[in-house]
A and B are shown apart, each in its own frame.
Chain A
C-alpha cells in the first residue's frame, strides 16, 4: 500500500478576540479544528456539505459554513463563534436575548448558526424588508420552529439597533 504521510501545519488566528495558534492536520475542516482543538461546541456538525448552516461562524465579518472551509485557511483571520458573542460575565447579546424572548429556539441545533448569520445582517446597520431578511437567512435549516419566530427575533433586534419602533403587522 502507498505510504500516506500526514501533513501538519501551524495556524495562527484570532478566535473570539484572543490570538491563538494550533498545529493541525491539513485535512481538518474549520469545524473539526474549532470543536476538537478549541472546544467551541456551538459550532455544530450537521450536514457537513454546506447545506444546513449549523456550522456557521463569522470570519473577518462574514458568515461562512465552517464545514466546507479548510482549517489551515484560518491563518491570519478573525473568527467569531457563538461563544464570542457573550459579554464578559456571560451575559447574552441582544440577538441571543431576542431568540429567547421570541421562542426562536426549540431543539437548539440550528441556533448558533442562525444567530451568527443574524449577527452579520445586524452589523451591516441596514434596514431590510421581511423578504430580504428571509433571503439573508435562507442558508440555514431549522426543523423545529417553522422559521417565523427566528425571523421575528432578527427583525426585532434590527429595529432595536436602528432605534426604530417595530412595525405592527
Chain B
C-alpha cells in the first residue's frame, strides 16, 4: 500500500485539466517510477495523486505535416528507443533513453515524467536541450508551447502552471534534419544508476562532409538544470572537421558549464569528464555523419 491521501484518475486530457484545477495540491503521476518511489520514501507521503497514466492519446511518436517530430508525453523510454521515426531521425535520443535505470524502468518510465521532474540528471533532457525541443502543455486556456530551456526554471522546478499537464515534446525538422548525434552517460554502474554527467552532442556537416555546419552540445549534471554549451558550439561552427577541432570544442565547454561537488563526484572531476565526454561524443557524431578524421 502506498501512503496516498487520494487518487484521481484522468479519463482524458480535458479531465486531467479539470482535476488539476479541482485539486491544485495534488501531484501528477505518469509512469510513477519516481513519484511512487518518493511516496514510499516518505517524501511525497500523504499526498493526493492525479494519474494520467491511462491517457493513451499521449503515447506514441508521430511526424506532423511540417516534419516536426511529436513525442507523446507518456511515451515510454523503451517505446521511444524502438520507434522507427526516432531510429531514423533522432537515433541519439533513443540511445540516451535506453540508458535510463533498467529494462523494467524503461517500460514504465515516460519522457514526460523525466522532463517534468526537473532534475538535471534526466537521461532524456540533455539530448532534448541539444535539439531545442519544445514542450507542449495543455491547460484551461488551451495549448501552450515553450522552449525546453525556458521550461526548466531551477533544480526540481519546471514551468507547469495551474491546471496544466505536459502533453507532448516537439522537435522541429530544422533542428534534427541531417544531424547525427551521440550521448555519453558517465555513471558508476551500467544499470540502475543516475548519471554523474550526461553529454549529448549532435553535428550537421557540409555536403562534402569536410566542414561542421552546426554543432550542438548539452549536458546534464553540469549545472542545477540541463544546459547548452554555446561557447563550444560557436567554436565549432563553420570550421573544418579535425581531431584538433574536437579538442578545441571540448575545451570550450568549460566556459559554459558549472558543475557542483556532490557525493557522486567532485566539481573538478565533472569538469574533467565533461571535456573528455564532449570530445568523444563530438568525434563519434562526426564519424556517424560520415566525416573523415
Residues of A within 8 A of B (CB): 4-5, 7, 25-29, 32, 48-51, 53, 56, 62-65, 68-70, 72-73, 75, 117, 120, 135-140
Contact = CB atoms under 8 A, between A and B. Distances in A.
B33 interface: yes
Contact of B191 (A5, A63, A120, A138): A138
B6 to A, nearest CB: 6
Contact of B78 (A28, A62, A137): A62
Nearest to A116: B104
Interface in B188-209: 190-192
A70 B32 contact: yes
B231 interface: no
A139 B192 contact: yes
B41 A68 contact: no
A120 B102 CA distance: 14
Contacts of B251: none
Interface size class on chain B is 20 to 34
Give chain B's interface secondary structure class.
mixed
B40 A48 contact: yes
A72 B7 contact: yes
Contacts of A65: 33, 104-105, 108
A49 B41 contact: yes
Contacts of A138: 102-103, 190-192
A138 B3 CA distance: 29
B106 to A, nearest CB: 8
Contact of B1 (A28, A64, A73, A120): A28
Given A25-B1, A72-B7, A73-B51, A64 B104 contact: yes
B60 to A, nearest CB: 15
